[in-house]
Amino acid sequence: MERNGRQARDQSKTGYCIRGRIWVEGVEGTFLGYGRVVLLQRIRQYGSITEAAKSMQMSYRHAWELVASMNRQSGVPLVESSTGGKAGGGTRLTEAGEKATEAFWALHKRFEEFLMQEDKRTAF
């Protein structure tokens, strides 16, 4: 399931709403964040970095750099490209890519639960 980082909660009932963002840092800085994870999911969907980037109104160069950054920082590549062969090559999400995507959304879900609890708990 693809989602974005915006919480669906609303401040209109309680007066205030606690919001936030999370991301995962690796040795180079950001390893995974909302934009990167959506990019991975679009690569799985389209089988192409070019098409994935286009669907996100992102330049191919930027998408390629994000993928390279994730692949370098992960022990195992999250995205693999094959060139040539009968099908003329292609790009796919690896099993490690699938797992990273799932782990990120699971983390995001627990973060949303934390924010909801805090909304109930904290008075400003």
Q: List residues near its own copies by CB under 8 A.
A: 11-12, 15-27, 31-32, 74, 99-100, 103-104, 106-107, 110-111, 114-115, 118, 122-124
SS3 79: strand
The smaller minimum CB distance to its own copies, of residues 23 and 60, is found at: 23
Q: Which C-beta is closer to its own copies: that of 15 or that of 85?
A: 15
Q: For its own copies, give the closer residue by CB, 52 or 104.
A: 104
CB of 117 to its own copies, least distance (A): 9
Determine how β-strand 79-82 pairs with β-strand 29-32: unpaired
- Beta carbon of residue 38, minimum distance to its own copies (angstroms, whole number): 16
Give min distance, CB of 50 to its own copies, in A: 26
C-alpha distances (whole Å) from 45 to each of 40, 52, 56, 57 are 9, 8, 12, 16
Cβ count within 10 A of residue 79: 23
CA dist., res. 123 & res. 50, Å (int): 47
